[in-house]
Amino acid sequence: MKLQQLRYLVAIVDHGMNITAASHSLFTSQPGISKQLKMLEDELSLHLFVRKGKSLESLTDAGKEVVRRARKILNEAENIRAMSREFAGRFQGELVVATTHTQARYVLPDLLEGFQRKFPGIAIKLHQGTSDQIARQVQEQTADFAVASGHSELFDDLLTLPIYHWERIIVVRKDHALAAAERVSLADLASFPIISYTHSFDAGSDQSRAFAKAGVEPNVVFSAEDPDVIKNYVRKGMGVGIIACMAYDRERDSDLVAINANRLFPSCTTWIGFRKNRFLRDYMYAFLELMVPGVERHKIDEIIADPKHAAAAAYGKSLSGLNLHPSIGNRFPTCCNGGFNL
C-alpha cells in the first residue's frame, strides 16, 4: 500500500466519484489512477466502490471506512513533513492564507507586513475567494489558514478563533436622497436598488433575515465579492451599497457618504480557522498570536487539545470591535463605534 494510492482514493471521493476530475486536480492521468485503485483493491481484497458499468457510483461500507482511515494517514504524513521542515529550517517555509476580498484588501496588509518583518524567510501566499472556495482550500490542504466572517456549515470541520467584530455601513452618492437623512430604516433602503456582497442576501443570511423581520422586500440589483467594485457601481448611480465598515476610506471615498447601519443589521465576526489536526510550525503560532488579540501559544494548544473547543467559544465572549484591535485598530477609528454618517 502506498500513500499515493490513498491520495488517489481520497481525491476521487472529494471530486464526487469523478476520476477525470480527480486526475486533473492531482496532475496525473486517469488511466494511472484507475490502475492504482485496482492495485489497492487487489491488495486489500476489498471492493471500495459501488460500480455501474465503468462509472463509480458510491463507496461501499468497507470503502467508507478505508477512506476515513486514509484521511487520517494522509494528514499525519503531512504533519510529519511539516515537522521535518520545522527542524530543518525554523524560519523558512511558506504561509498560505485563504480569505475574502474585503479582508485581503483592507485588513490583512498591515498584519502581513508586520509578520513578514518578523519572519523574512517565510513566503506569504494570499488566496482570495468565496466562502466555499476558502473552506475547500483549507480542507484540501492547499491553504494553511482561512480568514473569513460570519458562520457557515462550510467551516464546521475547522477550528476557528474569533479576531474582531465589525459593522455594516450604507454608502450612497452625495446627491442621493439618503445622504442627508438623519436616520435610515430598512423600508427606506428597500425603496432603492441595492448593491451588496455576493451571497449577502442568500436565504438565512443576516441581511435577508433583517429585511424579512421588518416585512419589506429588498430590491437587490447587483452583487459582487469586492467592495471596491460595489462602491464604483454606487458612484455610477446604480443603487445604494451595503458594505463592511472597514471598506470605507475617508480620503479615497470622500465622494461617497457612509451611513451607520448597526441599528439595522447585527454585527459580524471575523475569525481565523485551520484544520483541527494539523501540525503548527513556530511561525504559524506567531501568525495566530498576531491575528487574534490576547491569545498565546499555550492557549492555542489548550484550544486544540479541547475536543469540544469550549475554550475557543469562551474566548470569543470577550471579543472587541475592529477599532480596538491592538495591531490595526488605529487604522479603523470609526469602524464599530458608530462613527459613520460622514
Residues 148-177: tens digit of each pLDDT: 987 666 777 888 899 999 999 999 999 999
Report long-range pairs for 155-158 (Cβ below 8 Å, ≥24 apart). Answer: 155/131, 155/273, 157/275, 157/276, 158/273, 158/274, 158/275, 158/276
pTM of the model: 0.73
* pLDDT band at residue 75 under the 50/70/90 scheme: confident
Q: Where in the chain is the domain with CATH 1.10.10.10?
A: 3-87
| Rounded mean pLDDT, 130-136 | 85
Return the amino acid letter for 199: H
For residue 309, the model assigns a pLDDT of 59
Q: Where in the chain is the domain with CATH 3.40.190.10?
A: 91-164+270-319, 168-260
Region of 279 on the Ramachandran plot (φ > 0 left; ψ -120 to 50 alpha; else beta) = beta
* pLDDT band at residue 315 under the 50/70/90 scheme: low
For residue 41, the model assigns a pLDDT of 87
pLDDT for 307 beyond 80: no
What architecture is domain 91-164+270-319?
Answer: 3-Layer(aba) Sandwich (3.40)
In this structure, which topology does domain 168-260 adopt according to CATH?
Answer: D-Maltodextrin-Binding Protein; domain 2 (3.40.190)
CATH of region 3-87, choose from 1.25.40.20, 1.10.10.10, 2.40.30.10, 3.10.20.30: 1.10.10.10
Distance CA 245, CA 261 (A): 9
